[in-house]
Structure 1
Amino acid sequence: MTFHHHNVVSIPVKLSLLTLALMTAPLAMAQAAGWYAGANLGQSNATIDDARITSGLLGNGLVAGPFNNTERDRGFKLFGGYQYNRYFSVEAGYFDLGKFGFTTTTTPTGSLSGDIRLKGLNLDAVGTLPISEKFSAFGRIGVTYAHANDSFTGTGAVNVLDPNPSSRKTNLKVGLGLQYALTDALSLRAEIERYRIDDAVGNKGDVDLASLGLVYRFGGKRPTPVAREYTPPPVIVAQAPPPVVAAAAPVPAPQPAPVFVPAPVKVSFSADSLFDFDNAVVKPAGRAELDKLAADLRGVDYDVINVTGHTDRIGSHAYNQALSTRRAQAVSSYLVTSGDIPAQKINAQGVNGSDPVTKPGDCVGRKTTPALIACLQPDRRVDIEVTGKR
């Protein structure tokens, strides 16, 4: 009995090349990394090679009759992994592809039935391609350690010499999928995978698993919010006009008091303190810092408030420009709705990584490593510049 590929997905070479392309894409900014776990449930498919079984029976002087095959079953997998950045993760898990089998009659009178049960462990490299803030595609390539349990039963003229062979083999697996973030912690997956399988009697083939699943991301270490160089706005006290002395002669009009234009006051917040990984929604710790700033500014007659989002130099210009703009807009919206700041007096913009805090020689290297990401942390920020008077 053999199990061959059921034509559900494309040629394995194309699948592998796409996976490698995703894995080797330039790595962009990764503000956080962390562990995740999940489970998938779906349908597994194999093809029973009736022609090969018929040939084997004929070689023993038996003519096979009609076949009754079971080529589909329910499959599932449990997995856990570590995401190093928004493009790459490593995943390990347990899979159960289900049970497949056949039954046929023979001439001279007899029957032969066989089943195979497949389960095992896997270790995959997973490359992810973000499509939008919540939607992404991914590909995987990995190795499996599969346990194949075969069972054969013969009656009448069919004599089975080894009714329960089994084997444990290491093989390749590949896959493609789509993922949608339902919340910051929970995502929905749809994917199809191909498992290369050796059965217990020396045959090779493929089993496909199409499945849906959920992924839960465990909370990573949250940086402590850091506000730098914050000085309360100056208090302006208007000068009293000089006294008017009555005299017979006309008194020149007093000179107007000089107009004092206060210098803008700027405060910077670490983007890591305001937002989660690859996200533009202000998190609770960030809202607390913005509430404190709004309380300090209460009573100020605003001329203008400029909110500027910054990223570091890692990643593509287009992606980081969009992310920095969304984050500046998120902070502006929060100050308007929660800080009672007039919307017409606040401006928001993103400037990518064009205005870094770090100097050119501070953080050496182009390859994205934890050390480089930590060194460039000051560049990932949101600046708030306030011009006004009390």
Structure 2
Amino acid sequence: MNTKHIARLIKTAAGGSLIALASLSAHAADKEQGFYMGADIGRTKQNLNAGSQSSDRNSNSLNLYGGYKIDKNFAVELGYADLGKAKIGDASAKTKALNADLLASTALTQDLSLYGRLGAARYDRDFSAGGSDHTVGFKLGAGLEYKLSDQLSLRGEVTRYNNLPTADGQGFGRTANNVSAGVKYRF
């Protein structure tokens, strides 16, 4: 190996090291990037209508999610939501959803931010009268996030789920509204 090859090798290694250091410092400067996970509990409201019976039904809900914050304003999330059981007359339906969402956020103060979500969900609804149904629909949401530390945040959110499965003649609606609160942990 001659000195020209050694010099090129040193220049290449030095250049690669500088690029790696620049990348690491840029990543360190943006503390907002990275993976996170969380859980929310809440209440789901569904409008049900079967013959002469029409009412809103509330049930407990649970949402588990994981995501990646791309930068200070955008994140992607995957989640599982148990929207609870709705009952009208003798019939009931239990609804679950698998979600994929895009979140956009803006800081209101140093520790408080407002975010909105737009996503798709695959709904599974099991009916007490027998059978189940599956559909895909979209969901919209808005919420507030309060940062307790660099890793831990509190969230409160309102979410609208659309195009839920229905059972013919049983009166289960195609939409559900969910209000939830929970915690988020960032790695």
TM-score class normalised by the smaller sequence: 0.7 to 0.9
* 8 Å Cα contact 1:144-1:170 kept in structure 2: yes
Match of 2:118 among 141, 144, 158: 141
Given candidates 155, 163, 166, the residue that maps to 1:189 is 155
Q: Does the C-alpha gap of structure 1 residues 80 and 208 become closer, same or farther in structure 2, counting only changes over 3 Å? A: same
Secondary structure of 2:128 counterpart: strand
Provide the rounded CA distance (Å) in 1 between the counterparts of 2:182 and 2:168: 33
Match in the other structure for 1:252: none
Normalising by structure 1, we get a TM-score of: 0.38
Q: Given residue 111 of structure 2, which amino acid in structure 1 is its aligned partner? A: K
1:1-390 alignment runs, 5 A limit? 31-32=30-31, 33-50=33-50, 53-54=51-52, 67=53, 71-103=57-89, 113-152=90-129, 164-196=130-162, 197-201=164-168, 205-218=174-187
More helix by share: 1
Equivalent pairs, count: 155
Q: Tell me how far 1:68 sits from its aligned partner.
A: 8.8
What is aligned with 1:384? none
CA contact (8 A) 1:118 1:146 kept: yes
The structure whose RCO (Cα within 8 Å, separation 6+) is larger is 2
How far did residue 165 of structure 1 move? Answer: 2.5
Cα distance in 2 for partners of 1:37, 1:210 equals 19
SS of residue paired to 2:72: coil
- Are the counterparts in 1 of residues 47 and 173 from structure 2 also a CA contact under 8 Å? no
User: For the residues of structure 2 that align with 1:82 and 1:98, how far apart are their CA atoms?
Assistant: 27
What CA distance in whole angstroms lies between the structure 2 residues aligned with 1:75 and 1:181? 23
> Once the 2 structures are TM-superposed, how far is the Cα of residue 71 of structure 1 from its aligned partner?
0.6
* CA–CA separation in structure 2 for the residues paired with 1:116 and 1:177: 27
What's the counterpart of residue 262 of structure 1?
Answer: none
1:132 aligned counterpart, secondary structure: coil
Gaps of 5+ in 1: 1-29, 55-66, 104-112, 153-163, 219-390
Q: Identity percentage over the alignment?
A: 32
Query: Structure 2: which 5+ runs fail to align?
Result: 1-28
CA deviation after TM superposition for structure 1 residue 100, in Å: 0.6
Q: Which has the larger radius of gyration?
A: 1
Return the structure number with greater strand share. 2
Q: Secondary structure at the match of 2:109?
A: coil
Scaled by the length of structure 2, what TM-score is found? 0.78
Q: In angstroms, what is the RMSD of aligned CA positions?
A: 1.8
Is the Cα–Cα contact under 8 Å of residues 165 and 201 in structure 1 kept in the other structure?
A: no
